[in-house]
Amino acid sequence: MSLRVAVVGASGYAGSEILRLLLGHPAWAEGKLEISALMGASTAGQTVGELMPHLPQIADRAIEPTDVDALRGMDIVFLALPHGHSAEIAQAVGESTLVIDCAADFRLRDSAQWEKYYGGTHAGTWPYGIPEMPGHRAALAATRRVAVPGCFPTGATLALLPAVKAGLIAPEVTITSITGVSGAGKKAAVPFLGSETMGSLKAYNTAGKHRHTPEIAQNLSEYSEDPVTVSFTPVLAPLPRGILTTASAPIQEGVDEDRARAVYEEFCASEPFLHLLPAGQQPQTQCVLGSNMCHLAVEVDEEAGRLLVISAIDNLTKGTAGAAIQCMNLALGWEETAGLPMAAVAP
């Protein structure tokens, strides 16, 4: 008997990427997983072929209006909705259903931080979907509710986590992330038109205003004796997808590049989706395109006394949908890497 899957918000960028990965999953090919419902709002009634022609296997399927009653019969529900819309649906779905939320509704533990950055009532906190964070893999394997991380926090957390956990740095980090326009979602908005973005770079939500700032701080503080302060600057670039993150922090006394590299080598050795590049080689977004990989480079700036870590991820794969599928695999007891590409599309 196959597991029944629903994707709510199926025609958005996150939803369509979840579908792409599901269609490449061995469980779908073997008939163990059935894509039973594709739900949406403004696109209801249109077909996948019209909206997402890159998914020919289900081109004749129609997007249905979101129906909470229909979701109750599903084994797995992916929520790819704007922030603030997941809680009501999740509460109506039975506890035995695996619900994987790609929005921010259940990521933060501090309700005051939720209210400050998102507004409204905090819905609660679910197991957090970065399996590479020590302790999280076991929690994800034992849950039926998953909060998928934000794309910026994924790149930043994976960049700095080994250093924070090993005590290589002071808990004061500076992060700049350059992102493609798909991170803003699939909506018509003037700032994201091609004529507004091509040939231009723009910082936005600076000086602690970006909603992902408290999420990054929460993740890193989990492995630090003292709370980690985060100065985060996102930059919009004329790319369809991809995030390049540059993260730095003051090094602790006695830390040199050999020590830092040894820590990162040890941390990455057992993680299938982390790839530490050889010394002198830098991550590039084009080298992770369409993959669930995070490429890393680590250096020590001795003159400045700072650790420098650079990461590259695909914001729609490792940063969103890939994390969702990775967490699904863990929660179902399947091979964690199943259906998740490690090789990127190049050039």
- Active-site positions read 151
Reference 104, options 176, 239, 177, 14; nearest CA is: 14
Rounded Cα–Cα distance for residues 327 and 322 (Å): 9
Contacts of 197 (CB under 8 A, 6+ apart): 181, 191, 236, 237, 238
What does the block give as tokens for 120? 């409204």
The secondary structure of 139-198 as a DSSP string is HHHT-SEEEPPPHHHHHHHHHHHHHHHHT-B-SEEEEEEEE-GGGG-S---GGGSHHHHT
Residue 199, Ramachandran bin (φ over 0: left; ψ between -120 and 50: alpha; else beta):
left
Element (H, E) at 300: strand 294-301
Instruction: State whether the Cα torsion 131-133-134-139 is positive or negative.
Output: negative
Residue pair 337/173 in contact by the 8 Å Cβ criterion? no
Please identify which residue in the block is written with the tokens 């990127």: 344
Residue pair 197/180 in contact by the 8 Å Cβ criterion? no
Contacts of 198 (CB under 8 A, 6+ apart): 238
Residue pair 42/65 in contact by the 8 Å Cβ criterion? no
Rounded Cα–Cα distance for residues 195 and 202 (Å): 14
